[in-house]
Structure 1
Amino acid sequence: MKTGIAHLPLHGGKAPSWLFQRMKRLAREIIIAMVSEYGPQEVLRKLSDPFWFQALGCVLGFDWHSSGVTTTTCGALKEGIKGLEKELGLFITGGKGAISRKTPSEILGAGDQLSCDPEKLVYASKMSAKVDNSAIQDGYQLYHHSFIFTKSGDWAVVQQGMNDANKYARRYHWLGSKVENFVVEPHSAICCDSRGSTLNMTSVESEEARQTTVMLSQEKPDTLVSEIKRLQSLHLPSHHQVDIHDIHPDRLYKTFTKTYESIPENFESLLGIEGVGPKTVRALTLISEIVYGKAPSFHDPVRYSFAHGGKDGHPYPVDKDVYDRSIDILRGALKQAKVGNNEKMDAFKRLSYFM
């Protein structure tokens, strides 16, 4: 299994129109070829591989070392297959910023083309985002969420967070078929160059802390608020990992009322309650650790180019003629394959052995 670190420093600017238009066309041909040869599930599997995803971004012409490769590559894939979703059996929803919040409605909009319950896909989309924003508190605020799924209900997630302090991005990859539990080691990969102090409630080591926070969430709000205020008055050791200084107990009262009334059965259902965010999880975790001695994991979960150049000229400027020729060659190979001439597609398969 490949392992390593993907360097994702934040870069300004965006892909110029002339490049993005080509990225869309090439992305479309690549996805058509993959679905034709291996099926839509293989596309999900590949996108959940951080190295393959990074290589795809480079093939499409984006910089190997830019965090923009995530948003632009996902955007090119989404735009590239627009109108072909039913034929391919593959759907790409979400995106950057405000577009990411439209993901549930986009999933439901494809409901009549699916052979599965779209609400389950909506839940997977929401929970994957909730986990990476609240259950893993690593200083990276999500700003991009792409949810990719098939008509049969298989899914994958590529989402990214930004840390304004260290100017790095962190990318989170999910593959639905590998997720046995949304809150226990659910990722296929998390990529970033920077490691830091991280509250990781998805670690196997956090099992007792998860159980205790669920128990605490069923306590009366007044009890929890008074406990937090008491802890804030204590002089905690400087090495303590869970920061409580920006938590305002009285503001959490409303959320604690919701958890008390909902009686969550487990950490996943607790996390799914509306209003339960990073500060709620952090407050319950602190009480769990200090009062009950059930400490969570603070292990940063991070685990872990260049066919057409990059938009910023790294490692060299994009050659537009070569790029257009690549699109034409792949499109031609697909047309030939449709009429029974598989020689060119067989060549592409042999090429894949070196990737």
Structure 2
Amino acid sequence: MEISGISDLPLHYGRVPAWLIPIMRRLSRAILDVMLLEWGPDKVVERLSNPLWFQAFNNVIGMDWDSSGSTTVTLGILKDIVVPRIDGLAVTGGKGRNALNVPKELEELPANFDIDSNRLAKMSKLIAKTDTTLLQDGHELYHHSLLVSEDGKWSVVQQGMNLSTRFARRYHWVSVSDPINEKHQGIAGRKVESVLNVHDSLGAKEVILDLLREEPRKIERLYLQATSRLKGISLDAWISLGTTGAISKEAKMIYMKPVNVNRVIDVLKNVKEYSPRNMEEALLLGVGPSTVRALSLISDLIYTEPPSYEDPVSVPYDPFKYAFAIGGKDGVPFPVNREMAFQVINTLEDFVASAKIEKKDKDMALNKLRELRFGVKEGT
């Protein structure tokens, strides 16, 4: 087995065995109770926003150590067991069309949540747009969850799949105020070569925003001019040219994907009508991957302001050791040991029950002291 420091998330199409789901729920609930007692909801959100801490949690509860399902199943389990009114923590969104439910679910959170649901819904949408439009790495998003504490600490965990390579990629964000320009908390996945990374290029973003204010037909002419520079040059020669004229040596395969010029022109007409002040407004107005790909090509080949082509995958340590807690459903590093799993669950549940009793006793003692000192009962 090769440990490279990168989380590989191959696409798995199986299901979690029916007997394992109750174990995963009880174990997740027991771990969550300990985390809430020790840290509180804010810290739980922060920890789950770390891609490899998230992976370690997934491994501990018995999910595959290297599967795309580590995202969908783990977040699904968490959403099932979390009780927002009691835990001060909520998990919204989910897989497929469930991702679109984030705004509605935020609005329906109980009164103990001190949040601006409209702002969080906007952040949720912007982050999804960022990882599909400003970062084009060949992975199509199919899961999007927003986790939030009652005090407003939040994170987004979303996952995309690449059907060609059959690998998934998980993107983590935590309480950013400007996802267009701020960095991810981390990205778990296998590095790829062909990436259009406008997100990490301030110069390219500025040129693209200027282009969005131009007449759409001028953009069409510039795009045709840029593509004409590539005619007669093989892809290998193009990449190895160095900087000749305005052709960037870092240009990658991403630009070879076809762009529907007429559709891009329609988008540009709509965007220009509203004259976006910044990239955030442009994305919310409907600028998508094809438009950004076309404008990035113009930015690179006409205005010599290339976007980044660096894949921002970042993984600081390997979480595989946590798969040894109770085993994994696919038998790696060994089949789930049910007896061990229930021992861990019972130990954690006993600890939590004891801690809650101690807290109750402590609160009662403090109330008695207040009565003796002030002659009044708590709450009067």
Report the TM-score, using the length of structure 1 for normalisation: 0.89
Instruction: Return closer, same or farther for 1:326/1:127 CA change in 2, 3 Å cut-off.
Output: same
Q: Deviations over 1:125-179 (max 9, x none)?
A: 1111111111100001111111101122211111111111111111111111xx2
More displaced 10-residue stretch of structure 1: 156-165 or 216-225: 216-225
How far apart, CA to CA, are the structure 2 residues paired with 1:251 and 1:338? 60
What secondary structure, in the 3-state scheme, does the structure 1 residue paired with 2:104 have?
helix
- 1:287 paired residue number: 298
Q: CA–CA distance in 1 between the matches of 2:269 and 2:256?
A: 20
Superposed, 1:223-238 pairs within 5 Å as 223-235=218-230, 237=233, 238=235
Structure-to-structure mapping, 1:3-22, within 5 angstroms: 4-22=5-23
Task: Find the counterpart in structure 2 of residue 335 from structure 1.
Answer: 353
Alignment of 1:304-323 (within 5 A): 304=315, 305-306=322-323, 307-323=325-341
1:117 and 2:116 are equivalent in the alignment = yes
The answer to whether the 8 Å contact 2:30/2:345 transfers is: yes
Of the candidates 270, 279, 289, which is equivalent to residue 278 of structure 1?
289
Larger radius of gyration: 2
Q: Structure 1: how far apart are the matches of 2:257 and 2:96? A: 28
Tell me, yes or no, if the aligned pair for 1:111 and 1:118 is still in contact at 8 Å.
no
Aligned equivalents of 1:215, 1:132: Cα separation in 2: 22
> What does residue range 57-206 of structure 1 map to in structure 2 within 5 Å?
57-81=58-82, 84-110=83-109, 112-176=111-175, 179-203=176-200, 206=201
Write the distance in 2 (CA, Å) between the matches of 1:194 and 1:115.
38
The question of whether the paired residues in 2 share the 8 Å contact of 1:213 and 1:285 is answered with yes
| One-letter identity of the residue aligned with 1:108 | E
Q: Which residue of 1 aligns with 2:45?
A: 44
SS of 2:282 mapped into structure 1: helix
* Residue 281 (structure 1) shift: 1.0
Counterpart amino acid of residue 277 in structure 2: E
Moved more, 218-227 or 104-113: 104-113
Cα distance in 1 for residues equivalent to 2:32 and 2:270: 44
Amino acid at match of 1:246: P
Inter-partner Cα distance in structure 2 for 1:146 and 1:291: 39
Q: Secondary structure at the match of 1:292?
A: coil
SS in 2 for 1:143: strand
Q: Using the TM superposition, name which of 104-113 and 45-54 deviates more.
A: 104-113
**Residue-by-residue CA offset, 1:306-353 (whole Å, 9 max, x unaligned):** 2111111111111223222322221111110112189xxxxxxxxxxx
Contact 2:143 2:159 in 1 (8 A): yes
Query: Are the equivalent residues in 2 in contact too, given 1:138–1:197 (CA < 8 A)?
Result: yes
Preserved contact between residue 29 and residue 81 of structure 2 (Cα < 8 Å): yes
Please say if residues 25 and 77 of structure 2, whose CA atoms lie closer than 8 Å, have aligned partners that are also in contact.
yes
Identity %: 39
Q: What's the CA shift string for 1:59-100, capped at 9, x where partnerless?
A: 11011121211111111111111xx21121111011111211
Contact conserved, 2:85 with 2:110, CA < 8 A, in 1? no
Residue of structure 1 equivalent to 2:271? 259
CA distance in 1, matches of 2:110, 2:222: 46
Aligned residues: 333
Secondary structure of residue in 2 paired with 1:243: helix
Name the SS for the 2:22 alignment partner. helix
What is the rounded CA distance, in whole Å, between the counterparts of 2:293 and 2:141 in structure 1? 18
SS of 2:255's equivalent?
A: coil
What is the correspondence of 1:205-224 to structure 2 with a 5 Å cutoff?
Answer: 206-224=201-219
1:326 and 2:323 equivalent?
A: no
User: Offset at 1:233?
Assistant: 3.6
- d(CA) in 1 for partners of 2:299 and 2:220? 14
Whole-Å Cα distance in 2 between the matches of residues 65 and 109 of structure 1?
A: 34
Unaligned runs of 5+ in 1: 343-355
Amino acid at match of 2:268: F
Determine helix, strand or coil for the equivalent of 1:17: coil
Q: 2: CA distance between counterparts of 1:180 and 1:77?
A: 25
Distance 1:226 1:154 in 2: 46
Contact conserved, 1:170 with 1:192, CA < 8 A, in 2? Answer: yes
* 1:303 alignment partner AA: S
For structure 1, which segment, 114-123 or 179-188, has the greater mean C-alpha deviation from structure 2 after superposition? Answer: 179-188
Deviates more, 1:61-70 or 1:111-120: 111-120
What stretches of structure 2 of length at least 5 have no aligned partner?
Answer: 240-250, 316-321, 361-380
RMSD: 1.9
Farther off after superposition, 44-53 or 262-271: 262-271
**Alpha-carbon separation, structure 2, partners of 1:18 and 1:251:** 50
Three-state SS of the structure 2 residue aligned to 1:139 is coil
Corresponding residue of 1:269? 281
